[in-house]
Amino acid sequence: MKNTFSIGGIHPHDNKISRDCAITPLATPPTVYISVAQHIGAPAQPLVKPGDKVKVGQPVAEPGGFVSAFIHSSVSGTVKSVGPRADLAGKMSTTIEITVEGDEWMEGIDTTDTLVTDIPEDNKATLEKIRLGGVVGLGGATFPTHVKLSPPPGSKCEMLIINGCECEPYLTSDFRTLLEKGEQVVIGAAIIKQVLGGVPCTIAIEENKPEAIDHINEVIAKLRKISPKYDGISVMTMKMRYPQGGEKQLIDAVMHRQVASGGLPISVGAVVQNVATALAVYDAVQKNKPIIDNSVTVTGGCFPKQANLLVRVGTPLSYIIDSLGGMPSDAVKVISGGPMMGKAISNLDAATLKGTSSLLFLTAEETMRKPESNCIRCGKCADACPMGLEPFLLNKLSRINDVEALEDNAAQDCIECGCCLYSCPANIPLLDIIRMGKAEVMKAIKSRQIKK
């Protein structure tokens, strides 16, 4: 029996059309725009002012709170301005504009390809390196990694899960990372494992990536010969199903444990990290290299040139598109992220963030919504919901804004995966509506906590 989560889920066509494109570095753009709000939590505070010279890997913003992260310059050059700039959704966020001059790196960063396989013993120093490297969860949520790796007192981690599912259709950057930087990912996983006290580690990969599964198995076998520290790392083949890469779904699939409503994964003894995060941990700890670039899949049925690019953080999207031959004429929507959970981009002049994993181009036929009709009470949405919610009910409650009933029906547990919307034969924009209700519930919960 293949491993997968127990309730809900859908099977969209995986459309991994860019799977054979190796990750190639994209030329540095003439100007980069580095936002200080690239992670969940408090925005970082800028450390530079216009006119300052910066080098690659130099911190340009420091954490603005406990749940926050360092941000580093991805280029060398001169800071041109620090001020508000429109992000992917057209909303303003403080952005550091840097004019690129040359490619001078900070001292101490190891830019060679030599593999460093020794795992440092000092966990505190490792955590500090992860913090200073600005590492955040690159699976989408961009939660600061050093916070996630410091479990609250009283909780015990029993398993580390490295998420290599990449269950979103189209995306291939994690797949390519596993194939091309498998060693680094496994070493990164071993470092995280060490920080968590040597717990077993499972690398979960879906069955549609057999090459990656074979490759990682080989890598683990090779590394085990070098050091016993690599014992306890194994690959688990997962059945293809969306949203397997969701944190709670993956814990269910791998450990057969369910996280309670409102609970954290650590409450069932799990820590989940993405493949790209493991690579970033390797870079930060073994190479002293902070997150200055990330791999971005540029894809879509209508896009002539599929690519997996290594892009410097802060590269304008329009620059990426132009370097690949410009916008396809029949594309009507550009999405940052996958087609299920990604967000449509309204501003192509915006720059990439640490967590930008993909640029997806879709045609009108593929993406435009069909006219909404009445709910026929077929229950497909309830069958598809991986959180066991009742989207048809939440839809009604959200429309009348009954916050108490929404909370009773656990609208706050919605992971916004879009399975309900995908499965609805009446084309009801369930996710849009439920997200509105969820926001109201979260607001109510927050105000209650403040009162206490």
Partner 1 sequence: MTQTIIWTIAIITVLGLVLAIILYFVAEKFKVQEDPRIDEVEKVMPGANCGGCGFAGCRAFAEAAVAAPNLDNNYCPVGGNDVMAKVAAILGYEVKAKAPMVAVVRCNGTCANRPRTNTYDGLSSCKVKAALYSGDTACAFGCLGCGDCVEACQFGALSMNPETGLPEVDETKCTACGACVKACPKTLIELRAKGPRGMRMFVSCRNQDKGPAAKKACAAACIGCGICQKTCTHDAITVENNVAYIDFNKCKLCRECEALCPTGAIHGVNFPKPLDKEAVKARVQERQKKAREAAAAAAAESNTKEA
Q: In the structure encoding, which two tokens stand for residue 219, read together?
A: 């890598």
Give the residue with the Cβ less far from partner 1, 290 or 339.
339
Q: Is 369 in the site for partner 1 (CB under 8 A)?
A: yes
Angle, alpha carbons 94-97-102 (nearest 5°):
150
Q: Is 333 in the site for partner 1 (CB under 8 A)?
A: yes
Shortest distance, position 291 Cβ to partner 1, whole Å: 25
Q: Is 260 in the site for partner 1 (CB under 8 A)?
A: no
Give the residue with the Cβ less far from partner 1, 256 or 399.
399
Q: Is 236 in the site for partner 1 (CB under 8 A)?
A: no
Taken in order 209, 246, 126, 42, the sign of the CA dihedral is positive
Of these, 214, 432, 442, 443, which contacts partner 1 (CB under 8 A)? 432
Give the residue with the Cβ less far from partner 1, 259 or 414.
414
Shortest distance, position 90 Cβ to partner 1, whole Å: 3
Shortest distance, position 422 Cβ to partner 1, whole Å: 15
Of these, 368, 376, 378, 442, which contacts partner 1 (CB under 8 A)? 368
| Residues touching partner 1, count (CB under 8 A) | 20
Q: Is 435 in the site for partner 1 (CB under 8 A)?
A: yes
Site string for partner 1, 283-322 (x = CB under 8 A): ----------------------------------------
Which region among 59-67, 234-242, 254-262, 365-373 touches partner 1 (by CB under 8 A)? Answer: 365-373
Listed residue (204, 202, 243) closest to 5, CA to CA? 243
* CA 415 – CA 432 distance, rounded (Å): 12
Contacts of 207 (CB under 8 A, 6+ apart): 2, 213, 237, 238, 239, 240
* Interface with partner 1 in residues 128-147 (CB under 8 A): none
* Interface with partner 1 in residues 74-93 (CB under 8 A): 86, 89-92
Shortest distance, position 372 Cβ to partner 1, whole Å: 8
Q: Is 221 in the site for partner 1 (CB under 8 A)?
A: no
Q: What are the helix (H) ranges across 149-227? A: 173-180, 182-195, 210-226
> 427-449: buried (b, 16+ CB within 10 Å) or exposed (e) per residue?
ebebbebbbebbebbeeeeeeee
Shortest distance, position 89 Cβ to partner 1, whole Å: 4
DSSP letter string, 211-247: HHHHHHHHHHHHHHHH-GGGTTEEEEEE---BTTTSH
* CA 138 – CA 224 distance, rounded (Å): 27
Q: Is 375 in the site for partner 1 (CB under 8 A)?
A: no
Which region among 119-127, 199-207, 223-231, 427-435 touches partner 1 (by CB under 8 A)? Answer: 427-435
* CA 53 – CA 58 distance, rounded (Å): 10
SS3 content of the chain, % helix, strand, coil (to 5): 30, 20, 45
Shortest distance, position 435 Cβ to partner 1, whole Å: 7
* CA 222 – CA 115 distance, rounded (Å): 13
Shortest distance, position 250 Cβ to partner 1, whole Å: 27
Of these, 104, 367, 402, 445, which contacts partner 1 (CB under 8 A)? 367
Q: Is 332 in the site for partner 1 (CB under 8 A)?
A: yes
Shortest distance, position 360 Cβ to partner 1, whole Å: 15
The SS3 of residue 428 is coil
DSSP letter string, 266-285: GGGTEEEEEHHHHHHHHHHH
Contacts of 124 (CB under 8 A, 6+ apart): none
**Helical axes 275-286 vs 173-180, angle rounded to 10°:** 50
Interface with partner 1 (CB under 8 A): 86, 89-92, 332-333, 343-344, 346-347, 367-369, 429, 432-433, 435-436, 439
